[in-house]
Structure 1
Amino acid sequence: MKHQAYEGTYQGEKAVWLRSGKYEAALLPEIGGNLIAFRDTESGSRFLNEPAAEEMEAFKARPMIHGIPVLFPPNRYEDGAFPWEGRTLQLPVNEPETGNHLHGFVYKVPWEIEDYGTTASSSYAVTAIRVDESHPSYASFPFRYTIRLRYELGELGLSQQVQVINEGDVALPCLLAFHTAVRAPFHPGSAASDCKVKLTIGERWELDERMLPTSRHQPLSPEEEQLKGEGVDPFHAAMDNHYTAVPQQGRNRMELTDAKAGLTLVYDVGTSYKQWMIWNNFATEGFFCPEPQVSLVNAPKSPLPAEEIGLFRLEPGEIWEERARLYVKAAR
């Protein structure tokens, strides 16, 4: 059968598997709706950083560096304080070393599977999380909303559609990111040294000792100029950097080129993502995280214009939607 979608397991966890032609993918609804695997079964390529069997307990405790975790609201908030609409919400301080709140409420809690199946040209799965007064996170982040993800697998790779729906009666801060963990190298037989990454960055934000933006920019290093130009070794130095996103040729994307395999993995995200984070696990070869992010880190406390920093609000009944795609092309 050319296209398949079915319930199964991944390292012992409930999963929805998608298969289409040479591609397969796995979604973990009960661990944050994480799309944990995207593979080419013919070449043996694995495009996302997947947890090995012995890593599963650590992954479940901190499901942040594997697959495509969903961050809402994303990244860091100073002292857990979140000023919004004339009041200050208090988010839990869950990063003791900085005294900040980190990464929101949806990345490791159960989501539900709404649908899965096949079309004439693809397989797909839809997963969602609904938050209201009954959800544990409501006490800290008192909004009623649904986040819905549709993943579709076909000849053109993996597509992602995300929706945030405000189901409450007050404006919702629509701040979202994906902590996407990309394998480098992704192709068997290649080495990290065969890889170069390119990212549609603009300016680098200066971060203080608590990893919070100062609202100033820093000059790009020669390697960062290469990052937005011809590409650079993903592990040339330790990176935990925050940048403005500046689309090139109408697209906001990461490209990882494997010169030995002659292939480029493209992660094409929408232009609603006004910022990028990039983190490479202290320059440890194996994977790195190009993270498309709607908003500036600590955005509610920034003095900069809301539209400039991606501080988006959804009025009651409004929907925010964006799309992304992971696919492979021949390297140029």
Structure 2
Amino acid sequence: MNRYELIQSEWDGESTLRLVDREAQATAEVIPAVGLHLFRFDVRGEAYIAKPAGVAELREKSSRYGVPILFPPGRVKQAAFTFEGREYRLPKNREPDHAHGELREKPWKVVASGADAAGGAYVSAEFDLAEHPDMLAYYPHAACFRFTYRLKDGTLSLSGEIANRSGSTMPLSLGFHPYFAYASGEASRVKVAIPAAAEWPLSADGYAAGEPAPSALTAALREGAVLTELPNYPGGSQLLSMEPGPQTCELRYEARGTKLVFEMGEKFPIHVLFTAPWTDAVSLEPYTSIMNVFNEPYAPALSGAQGLAAGETFAFTWSIRITDLA
């Protein structure tokens, strides 16, 4: 029997692709029709991704489960911003603002999939804005997103490219919102460790309210903080600037005797730590920038504001693996 397998499956009538690594006892599952959502990652019988009750709930609340793809991440105040002298007006999908983009709920096109000893089990999918005139109307850049989920040697990775095929520089702000699950009653025995350099002060409505600075929270997160001791738990949200270079975060499941290691690469200098009040999950969210970035006054070196020039490509990789606690 082969170690890796790609299984075409179904969930509530929608096609899914299941990636299997038998030796690692790991299974991941994605649903291309709903934002290329990763909605399952199980290792040795334990669930590490929070899953909704069904596809209908995922469609209705696509930012609340699994691993939503956020473009842009967070909210855009009044659903509008200006970039390089051009005004962008986005759909007000969370009145009066825009929240988390539409890639998380639109169908993606599978362009490659398979399983073999060299590459593990994988699925590649694309979302081409040129094929979506409704989105081009408010974001006039023919950008093509090509993302690949791969399960190999027990590690689940996502590698992606965003190619700007338009004739002008496009505003770029990308993030992910993984909901890492824990069992009911397990939160007091889960620790989160993040290499956070500074914490952003937030306004009452959750936007950046000043430049970031080291804090008691960032010091605690570098050592490992218990989930139930995080500020404003449950439902707390913290905006953090990360240490320079490749980032590694950890969730230490003391009751399970395991550790989730989240290697985020170096393309995501901003991090949001969020504890979900509607499900047993905590989110460690890598962002290329703070939310509402193109409306904020902060220097790009702090905020992550950036553009992608015509003809250029933005590439990234992040990965998740489960190991035993030492």
TM-score (norm 2): 0.91
Deviation at 1:298, TM superposition (A): 1.1
Post-superposition shift, 1:8?
A: 1.6
Alignment of 1:296-315 (within 5 A): 296-315=290-309
Instruction: Give the match's secondary structure for 2:56.
Output: helix
User: What is residue 157 of structure 1 aligned with on the other side?
Assistant: 155
Task: Kindly provide the amino acid, as one letter, of the partner of residue 225 in structure 2.
Answer: G
Say which SS state the counterpart of residue 49 (structure 2) adopts.
coil
CA distance in 2, matches of 1:133, 1:47: 34
Q: TM-score, normalised by structure 1?
A: 0.90
Distance in 1 (CA, whole Å) between partners of 2:220 and 2:299 is 29
Residue 254, structure 1, aligned to residue 249, structure 2:
yes
2:106 corresponds in structure 1 to 109
Contact 2:72 2:100 in 1 (8 A): yes
1:4 corresponds in structure 2 to 5
**Aligned residue number for residue 126 of structure 2:** 128
CA positional deviation for 1:228: 2.2
State yes or no: 1:226 paired with 2:220: yes
8 A Cα contact 1:215 1:302, kept in partner: no
CA distance in 2, matches of 1:280, 1:233: 8
RMSD (CA atoms): 2.0
34, 38, 42: which is aligned to 1:39?
42
* C-alpha distance in structure 2 between counterparts of 1:16 and 1:154, whole Å: 15
- 1:139 maps to what in 2? 137
Which deviations, in whole Å up to 9, do the C-alpha atoms of 1:12-38 show, x marking residues without a partner?
321111112211111110100111111
Q: Distance in 1 between matches of 2:279 and 2:143?
A: 38
Does the aligned pair in 1 maintain the 2:194–2:224 contact within 8 Å? Answer: no
Q: Distance in 2 between matches of 1:176 and 1:2?
A: 33
Distance change >3 Å, CA 230–CA 6, structure 1 → 2: closer
Secondary structure at 2:294 match in 1: helix
Deviations 1:257-314 (A, max 9, x none): 11232211111101110101111124x6710111100011111122222233211211
The match for 1:167 is 165
**What amino acid is aligned across from residue 202 of structure 2 in structure 1?**
L
Compute the displacement of 1:133 (Å): 6.5
CA shift, 1:63, in A, is: 0.9
1:135-193, CA deviations, whole angstroms, 9 ceiling, x for partnerless residues?
A: 321111111101111111121310110111101111011210001110124xxx98222
Matched, 1:213 2:208: yes
Amino acid at match of 2:105: K
Give the fraction of aligned pairs with identical amino acids, expressed as a percent.
Answer: 23
Deviations 1:56-111 (A, max 9, x none): 32221121121111001111111111111112111122222xx3211112110111
The secondary structure found in structure 2 opposite 1:307 is helix
How many residues are matched?
319
Mark the CA change 1:212 to 1:230 in structure 2 (over 3 Å): closer, same or farther: closer
Give unmatched runs, 5+ long, in structure 2.
none
Partners in 2 of 1:133 and 1:31 — Cα distance? Answer: 16
* Distance of aligned partners of 1:219 and 1:246 in 2 relative to their CA distance in 1, 3 Å threshold: closer
Cα distance, 1:279–1:190 mapped onto 2, change above 3 Å: closer
Give 2:33's match in structure 1, choosing from 18, 30, 35: 30
Is 1:294 equivalent to 2:288 in the alignment? yes
Q: Residues of 2 paired with 1:79 and 1:208: CA distance?
A: 16
Aligned residue in 2 for 1:89:
88
Q: Which residue of 2 aligns with 1:48?
A: 49
Q: 1: distance between equivalents of 2:226 and 2:194?
A: 10
Q: Is the 8 A contact 2:246 2:266 kept in 1?
A: yes
> Comparing 167-176 with 126-135, which one deviates more in the overlay?
126-135
Runs of 4+ in structure 1 over 4 Å off = none
Cα displacement (A) at 1:7: 2.0
CA contact (8 A) 1:226 1:232 kept: no
Structure 1: distance between partners of 2:195 and 2:132: 40
C-alpha distance in structure 2 between counterparts of 1:227 and 1:304, whole Å? 24
Q: How does 1:310-325 map to 2 (within 5 A)?
A: 310-325=304-319
The one-letter code of the counterpart of 1:44 is G
